[in-house]
Amino acid sequence: MAKVKFIVIDVSHHQGKIDWKKVKRSGIGGVIIRVSDSTGRMDRECDRNIAQCEKRGIPFGLYIYSRAKNKKKVRQEAEIILKKAEGHKISFPLYIDLEQPGCEKYAKMAAKEFGRIVEKRGYRCGVYANQSWWKNYLKGLNRYSKWVARYGKAPTISQVDMWQYTMEGKVSGISGNCDKNKCYVDFPKLLG
């Protein structure tokens, strides 16, 4: 694995009302904010989390949980995340989260279509999935930023940009747990 540049957290309404002032002081290097959940509903803390990251000068990116089984659905998901990104300084890729049971055979198609759309709009595309999905359904997607979930052990696949190593992370300003990720690419500098 490459050298860790910094720790990134990913957040949603599950973290409640985050005290972003404390998060900023904690020294995290960035945040990936969820736009919508597995039911397709907008995350109720998304707008607040974006506004607070901007207010505090915390670099951030966005992710959307995909349930796409066809190009029409993934195009809708891409438009949702693009609309949310509009007018904001996005310092990380826009990620599609591929882990919905029943969508395995559509995952590669969804990643490619999502990537085509967000890249056409000038954003860097990223794909999030656990290592099993990467090995079984997402082989060959090396052009996109790889965000890999694997708890306890480092990923054994190549070209990983971010490794979600725990879902039981502790960060000042967040009550309860949050996902923590080791980031190997200085995206805020690269995409700045």
The number of folded domains in the chain is 1
**Count of CA atoms in the C-beta half-sphere (13 A) of 83:** 10
Task: Identify the pLDDT of residue 40.
Answer: 77
- Taking only the tens of pLDDT, the chain with its 192 residues reads 689 999 999 999 999 999 999 999 999 999 999 999 767 789 999 999 999 999 999 999 999 999 999 999 999 999 999 999 999 999 999 999 999 999 999 999 999 999 999 999 999 999 999 999 999 999 999 999 999 999 989 999 999 999 999 999 999 999 999 999 999 999 999 997
Residue 90 lies in a domain: yes
* Phi, psi values for residue 151, rounded to 5°: -90, 135
Residue 1 lies in a domain: no
Residue 42 lies in a domain: yes
Question: How far is CA 177 from its chain centroid?
Answer: 17
Residue 96 lies in a domain: yes
pTM of the model as a whole: 0.96
Residue 101 lies in a domain: yes
Task: Identify the pLDDT of residue 27.
Answer: 93
The CATH number of the domain holding residue 47 is 3.20.20.80
Q: Cβ atoms within 10 A of the Cβ of 120, count?
A: 11
Instruction: Give the CA angle between residues 42, 112, 96 to the nearest 5°.
Output: 25
* Burial class of residue 139 in the structure, from the number of CB atoms within 10 Å of its CB (0-12 exposed, 13-18 middle, 19+ buried): exposed
* Burial class of residue 35 in the structure, from the number of CB atoms within 10 Å of its CB (0-12 exposed, 13-18 middle, 19+ buried): buried
The domain of 177 spans 6-191
Task: Identify the pLDDT of residue 1.
Answer: 66
Task: Identify the pLDDT of residue 192.
Answer: 73
